[in-house]
Chains A and B, each alone.
Chain A
């Protein structure tokens, strides 16, 4: 099986997927970097998906200990296809998408500590397309700060961000989202949607912003919603013998299902385990 090339250059770890390479099996980023782990002192990682390559990367960096980076950058070149699944370590992420590049990203936040994340998606090539889905569970005194910037610099680009989350205890979800459409990015299509289910004394601060510079052929949407679980459905389930906690759990699972359903089986199992563990604490 083809393996991406990994090397260190000027303090940056470079993961290179060669032109035209197709990797069907999901690549674990920490496995890839395993050899370099103790040898170099790098702060950044740069993943380059060369033209017309296709790769799926699963990332555990930052959460498996011992290997902390501050920034991970992805350069997805013309016609390349990148799927990135992240448990969100302690670093910021930037995606650069060139002509006809495709990004399919999924993020999961179940960590216990406070999480502060910066996501930037720069669509700089024509017809580049990005889909970012995410799920988060925060509880206790946890604080989750997420900032996402979808930057459209070229024509016919599209980006979709959808986040579903649950906040419980005295936790706080702070979301700063921006859709930015540059002057020449005609026919751009962008969307941001964040939905949070609230339990107990949890708080949400959502700022989904849109900035459109001088362009009429643009469609941009954002949605933000926060509330409790639907009381009618809860009542329906309880009338059928479910306990309140069990009914709430079912509703949360279905709330997340929309996004997790398309993941690889192994990753899905891994995520399901983490979700269950966190949910036990949450409810």
Chain B
């Protein structure tokens, strides 16, 4: 449990005034020394943000006031490639989160974003020598302008939804990753996002391009201390998996209970490529996140494994979308949600098979556990099949904890709370199995601590 903080006493290099207007957008663009087309793109997106209505479904967003939020906070002048250059206060925050330690042990590269900017980013030499690019998105724009312009906003348009438009207008930070043809990065790359101030917005923009035959595993973590005022995290992630490439994108979101987490994530999978979204939502006041995969090339595969835990005062509106545009593409979708202490979890899933996509195979399964009488769980799956030559299925199950399983475990000498934690760990096993070992252990522990004494 994070302790309530009054304020953050860290001195920022630059702090934008509260609210959102053209001036702020131009200021962000200017600070980043961006080309004209990007400034125009941002301003057009701002216009869209102002015209697209706030969604009236999902979470209650009525308390979210853009005029109360700072849209850009730059902590330090220049990004560092060594932890020694990072100010002690920020370094300490990430040390507590175990980022430098993990970097040394099992990561191919690490990026650490503090408020609006990446303060640290480093890729192991081995991978840099093989041509892997792992940069802050702003640096990506500076150093690879042509590739950047070609792929940026090619998967998520600003007009996609209100918060994609907002991100497009004020984006800052995030990762730009380019994995060259045939390169297999056998260790995960990690980015960690931290909001440490009250009433701010974090709008990272991540662009990942996996060239033909390459492999990448990307892990993203998020956290923040608790404040009275609400903050906003609205990211956009775009992934392009070219022919035969494989990308696994893992998110472990553990925002504090004053954060609105409104994120747009989408991937395009070309011929015979594989895209996996492994999505864990444990924190935030409200999450609206539906990672999507567009299976564009023949034989492309997609998988979404989503887990969400909704506790007191939390609304987890999560799920995903898989769109089959090509023949012989296949997908698998598993969602598990747990609601307790009055929390609300909602699943929204879509499997769409377009005309002309023959031989598609797809399955969607969403299960929910309700741990007490005051919680709520909803499930809204949607199958849209426009081709007869397919095999698509969906299953959902909402229930309480299985008493028989509990009895079995308890009869073997384990305490009631331990038995419940074991059943819940089993419930989310599909998610945990896909995580790197170190994270899996951590998640199991998190669930165990979280569940202790909470189940009646």
Contact = CB atoms under 8 A, between A and B. Distances in A.
B399 A209 contact: no
Given A206-B382, A208-B394, A225-B394, A216 B375 contact: yes
Contacts of A274: none
B383 A226 contact: yes
B324 to A, nearest CB: 12
Contact of A214 (B376, B396, B400): B376
B394 A227 contact: no
B378 A212 contact: yes
A202 B399 contact: no
Nearest to B371: A216
Interface in B354-388: 355, 368, 370-388
A220 B398 contact: yes
A207 interface: yes
Contact of B390 (A213, A215, A226): A226
B37 interface: no
B381 A227 contact: no
Contacts of B394: 206, 208, 222-225
A214 B340 CA distance: 10
A273 interface: no
A219 B383 contact: no
Interface in B311-351: 342
A206 B352 CA distance: 10
A246 interface: no
B393 interface: yes
A213 B398 CA distance: 12
A167 to B, nearest CB: 8
A158 to B, nearest CB: 14
Contact of B382 (A205, A216, A227): A205
B392 interface: yes
B290 to A, nearest CB: 15
Nearest to B342: A214
A212 B339 CA distance: 11
Interface stretch (A39-47, A83-91, A193-201): A193-201
Contact of A210 (B385, B387, B396): B396
A214 B398 CA distance: 12
A203 B388 CA distance: 7
A200 B355 CA distance: 11
Contacts of A199: 388
A218 interface: yes
Contact of B397 (A203, A209, A211, A221): A221
A217 interface: yes
A68 to B, nearest CB: 32
A228 B391 contact: yes
A212 B398 contact: yes
Contact of B400 (A198, A216, A222): A216
A203 B376 CA distance: 33
A225 B393 contact: yes
A162 to B, nearest CB: 14
Chain B's interface size range is 35 or more
A204 interface: yes
B381 A228 contact: no
A280 to B, nearest CB: 19
Nearest to B361: A227
Contacts of A204: 383-385
Given A225-B392, A226-B390, A210 B382 contact: no
Contact of A207 (B374, B380, B393): B380
B395 interface: yes
Contacts of A226: 383, 385, 390, 392-393
Contacts of B40: none
A217 B371 CA distance: 9
B160 to A, nearest CB: 22
Interface in A225-242: 225-228
Contacts of A211: 378-379
| Among B368, B380, B394, residue most surrounded by chain A Cβ atoms (within 10 Å) | B394
Contacts of B452: none
B380 to A, nearest CB: 5
Nearest to B367: A221
A202 B355 CA distance: 10
Nearest to A215: B373
A150 to B, nearest CB: 13
B402 to A, nearest CB: 10
Given A207-B381, A212-B370, A202 B388 contact: yes
Contacts of B376: 212-214
A22 B377 CA distance: 41
B389 interface: yes
A201 B394 CA distance: 21
Contacts of A220: 396-399
A218 B370 CA distance: 8
Interface string B201-244: 00000000000000000000000000000000000000000000
Interface in A92-107: none
A173 to B, nearest CB: 9
Contacts of B392: 225-227
Contacts of B384: 203-205
A198 B393 contact: no
A211 B400 CA distance: 15
Nearest to A211: B378
Contacts of B370: 212, 215-216, 218
A218 B394 CA distance: 20
Given A198-B388, A210-B377, A212-B370, A205 B397 contact: no
Contacts of A202: 388
Contacts of A215: 370, 373
Nearest to B348: A209
5 contacts: A198-B390, A205-B384, A212-B376, A219-B399, A220-B399
Interface of A: 167, 198-228
Given A208-B394, A212-B378, 13 more contacts: A201-B387, A203-B384, A204-B383, A204-B384, A208-B381, A208-B396, A212-B368, A212-B398, A218-B400, A221-B398, A222-B381, A223-B393, A227-B393
Closest 9 CB pairs of A and B: A198-B388, A227-B391, A225-B393, A210-B379, A204-B385, A220-B398, A224-B394, A206-B383, A216-B400
